[in-house]
């Protein structure tokens, strides 16, 4: 669900951009040789990585089976809190700073917004809000009594 929402948001951002396609196409042929070279290099890397026989990965012995009560989650927790404790805590601090910064940026007080106190709104009584007065008409309206129209 979140990935779909992010994709829709990205789609709206792209739609809102005013991209000049003619100007964008001007530099296409100039960068085509560099792009082709990078594409060939990436394809060669993929062939080397996916070619199992080149690296001897076909001769790797499979790992020993684990016990019936083995838990991946427990093993991950053990690794995070022993071998990778410092990087894990640093990542937590970075995320905490990011969250606090995002909240601080959105909660800053703007000068052009009016402050509304909810307690003051709740304290107001009905008689304080509206005063009904009887006022005579200044101009007499002509009414057609047969049809009820003016």
Any residues with CB less than 8 A from the CB of 150 and at least 6 apart, and which?
141, 142, 143, 144
What is the predicted pLDDT for the residue at 72? Answer: 92
What is the predicted pLDDT for the residue at 104? Answer: 83
CA-wise closest residue to 5 among 128, 13, 54: 13
What is the predicted pLDDT for the residue at 74? Answer: 93
- Is 120 a member of any domain? no
Cβ–Cβ < 8 Å for 88, 80: yes
What is the predicted pLDDT for the residue at 23? Answer: 72
Any residues with CB less than 8 A from the CB of 88 and at least 6 apart, and which?
80, 81
- Is 89 a member of any domain? yes
What is the predicted pLDDT for the residue at 109? Answer: 67
What is the predicted pLDDT for the residue at 81? Answer: 92
Strand partners for 144? 149
- Is 132 a member of any domain? no
Cβ–Cβ < 8 Å for 18, 12: no
**Which residues span the domain enclosing 86?**
71-108
CA–CA separation, 144 and 150 (whole Å): 6
- Is 101 a member of any domain? yes
What is the predicted pLDDT for the residue at 77? Answer: 93
- Is 77 a member of any domain? yes
Torsion angle of C-alpha atoms 86, 92, 95, 100, degrees rounded to 10? -120
CA-wise closest residue to 40 among 29, 32, 50: 32
Supply the pTM of this predicted model: 0.35
Domain count along the chain: 1
Backbone angles phi, psi at 11, to 5 degrees: -60, -40
Per-residue pLDDT of the chain (150 residues; tens, 9 = 90+): 678 888 888 888 877 776 776 776 777 788 889 999 999 999 998 888 777 666 666 677 788 888 888 999 999 999 999 999 999 999 999 999 999 988 888 776 666 777 788 888 888 887 777 777 888 878 877 776 665 555
Q: How many CA atoms lie within 13 A of 69 on its CB side?
A: 0
Q: Could you identify the residue written with the tokens 């020993």? A: 64
- Is 91 a member of any domain? yes
- Is 103 a member of any domain? yes
- Is 12 a member of any domain? no
What is the predicted pLDDT for the residue at 137? Answer: 77
């Amino acid at each position: 669900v979140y990935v779909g929402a992010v994709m829709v948001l990205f789609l709206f951002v792209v739609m809102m951009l005013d991209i000049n396609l003619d100007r964008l196409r001007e530099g296409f042929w100039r960068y085509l040789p560099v792009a082709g070279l990078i594409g060939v290099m990436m394809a060669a890397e993929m062939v080397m990585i996916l070619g199992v026989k080149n690296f001897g990965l076909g001769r790797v012995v499979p790992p020993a089976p684990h016990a019936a009560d083995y838990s991946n989650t427990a093993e991950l927790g053990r690794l995070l809190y022993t071998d990778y404790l410092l990087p894990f805590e640093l990542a937590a601090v970075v995320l905490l700073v990011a969250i606090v910064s995002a909240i601080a940026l959105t909660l800053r007080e703007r000068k052009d917004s009016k402050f509304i106190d909810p307690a003051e709104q709740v304290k107001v009584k009905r008689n304080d809000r509206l005063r009904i007065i009887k006022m005579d008409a200044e101009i007499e309206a002509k009414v057609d009594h047969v049809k009820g129209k003016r």
